[in-house]
Amino acid sequence: MSRFADFLTRNPVKRFVVNHLNTYRRDIARTYAEQKRLEQASEDEVQAYQLARLRRLLSVARGSSYYRRLIDGFAKLPESFTFDDLRQFPFLTKTTLREREFELLVPDARHVYENYSGGSTGVPVRFYQDYSYKVQMSVSTRMCNELAGLFTGARVAKLWGAPQDKRQIEGWKGKTKLWLLNQRYYDTFDMGPERMDYYHRQMEAFQPDLIQAYAGSIYLLAKFLRSRGIEPSYPRVSIITSAEKLFPRMRDEISHVFPSAVFDRYGSREVSAMASECKQHDGMHIQMPGYIVETINAVTGRTVEGEPGEIAVTALANQAMPFLRYRIGDLGILTRKKCACGRVFWRLREIVGRMSDNFLMPDGRVVHGEYFTHLFYGRDGIEQFQFEQTSRESFTLRIVPSVGYSAELGERLSQEIRKMIGDSPRLAIEIHQQIPKTASGKYRFTLSRLGPEELIGVRSTR
Ligand SMILES: [Zn+2]
């Protein structure tokens, strides 16, 4: 069946069908052709493309009351703005998104929908995206995948959190789509030794070319396989890690166990996949045709290069709610130096991004922390949250409330959490003024005190 799927995926007929599943196929194809060419172009050409898109975005952004005031303050037309002008804009923060949500909206954008993020700071935000965002997301994701060796018809295994709407992967439509795309899904909200053993056997049979995974989930699978002395023969091409910080010890473990290289990636739900490693594994190439990235010194507020700074992204698509100089909440080091691979796209190094943990359920299942983060998406009344597991039978949810919080909301969240953890464990809900950061200065919004040995079913040696 897999060989047949391979054949069909590489076959023009199946490609035609897959393409036609996508409403925006023509715009995606055109944008991809433009941006792919820039990978090999000069830095000047890339920046000229960025500037033209920035100016177009500014013209659109003037449709929102928030940006109109800012743009008109420059006393020049959007079509004559420069990168220096952009650097005069105030940063867009999560607080701005929450407090001025509707002032940021541009009326008349096409195919607008709501989206949510826990960001990397545990502050849930709601925002709006549109058709232009989806086109850019498709193109950037494909270009990032190609850096990691993706080819037409590749078999892709996704070790990922299942969407809330499981029909997307479990209904006949979802299954057909995955089959057409030559993809398989392995749910990281349902791990644990037995499931990991099952996933391993499934992947051994499927022989994926690429595995796309939450960094913490593939790390856990690697540790599990090693503890059992298993040497997997897959994936054949690469492993792509994203959604959270990939620490060097995690990369080492994954590389040790699996036969192919690890390609780390950076992105978020606000801006999608925007940077990815190439075969040099020397920082992540920013998808410059879609994003202008700056790193900011936290004290001076100035743009810096070659030293750690807070990442501010200008996403050149999304005309429904333009993101100009968005402080995403992560730290990175920006370098313009040309990569040994020859690509001119600037790189981001050593990103300190979101950190998530895996949680152990009383019945032995292991659930990636993203599951609990998703419960806060689209909820008003919560300034910040932290979900912690202190033992197999004890959980704590900390909430910093904002306007609109009520005891009912706390009760609803508690019920949602119980659906996953069951009725037996202790679950405390605590209200706080603020949630302390960790020693590294980074804030953990899902936190498990259990060691990985406990999660993979090996007795702790500590
Ligand atoms: Zn490179």
> Cα of 280 to ligand 1 centre, how many Å?
6
Q: How confident is the model at residue 435 (pLDDT cuts 50, 70, 90)?
A: confident
Alpha-carbon gap, residue 251 to 160, rounded angstroms: 18
Q: What is the CATH number of the domain that holds 393?
A: 3.30.300.30
Q: What is the pLDDT of residues 404-420, one digit of tens each?
A: 899 999 999 999 999 99
Provide the pLDDT for residue 19: 67
The CA distances from residue 117 to 104, 160, 238, in Å, are: 17, 16, 27
| pLDDT winner (highest mean) among 2-6, 106-110, 275-279, 379-383 | 275-279
List the beta strands (DSSP E) in 217-271.
Answer: 238-242, 261-268
Distance from Cα 277 to the centre of ligand 1, integer Å: 7
Percentage of the residues of the chain whose pLDDT score is greater than 70: 92
Examine residue 416 and state whether it is found in any structural domain, yes or no. Answer: yes
Report the pLDDT value the prediction gives residue 12, as an integer from 0 to 100: 67
Number of compact structural domains in the chain: 1
Condensed to tens digits (0 to 9), the pLDDT of residues 331-363 reads 899 999 999 999 999 999 988 777 778 899 988
Residues 6+ positions from 186 with CB-CB distance below 8 Å: 157, 158, 159, 160, 199, 202, 203
Dist. CA 116–CA 100, nearest whole Å: 15
**Is 385 inside a domain boundary?**
yes
Neighbours of 130 (CB within 10 A): 18
The pLDDT assigned to 423 comes to 94
Convert the pLDDT of each residue in 236-251 to its tens digit.
999 999 888 898 989 9
Distance 411 CA to ligand 1 centre (A): 49
Domain contains 149? no
When pLDDT is cut at 50, 70 and 90, the band that residue 328 belongs to is confident
**Distance from the CA of 362 to the center of ligand 1, in angstroms?**
45
Distance between Cα 232 and ligand 1 center (Å) = 28
For the residues 268-276, what does the mean pLDDT come to? 93
Q: Is the pLDDT of residue 380 over 50?
A: yes
Three-state SS string over 64-130 comes to CHHHHHHHHCCCCCHHHCCHHHHCCCCCECHHHHHHCCCCCCCCCCCCCEEEEECCCCCCCEEEEEC
Q: How far apart are CA 140 and CA 302, in angstroms?
A: 27
**Which residue shows structure tokens 């058709």?**
131
Q: How many Å apart are CA 441 and CA 310, to the nearest integer?
A: 13
pLDDT at 441: 53
Distance (Å) from CA 15 to ligand 1 centroid: 29
| pLDDT confidence of residue 28 | 94
Indicate the residue type of 333. Answer: I
Q: Which of 38-47, 54-63, 146-155, 451-460 shows the lowest per-residue confidence on average (mean pLDDT)?
A: 451-460
Query: Domain for residue 281, yes or no?
Result: no
Closest CA to 260 of 212, 299, 319, 321: 212
Query: Structural domain of residue 425, as residue ranges?
Result: 358-455
**Cα–ligand 1 centroid distance for 283 (angstroms):** 8
Q: By three-state DSSP, how is residue 40 classified?
A: coil
Closest CA to 50 of 343, 303, 291: 291
Cis peptide before 452 (omega within 30 of 0): no
At residue 462, the pLDDT reads: 35
Q: What's the chain's average pLDDT?
A: 89
- Greater confidence (12 vs 250) lies with 250
Percent of the chain's residues with pLDDT above 90: 64
Residue 460 binned pLDDT confidence (cut-offs 50, 70, 90)? very low
Question: What is the model's pLDDT at position 94?
Answer: 86
Cα 432 to Cα 416: distance, rounded to the nearest angstrom: 20
What pLDDT does 421 receive?
95
pTM over 0.75: yes
**pLDDT, greater one: 6 or 199:** 199
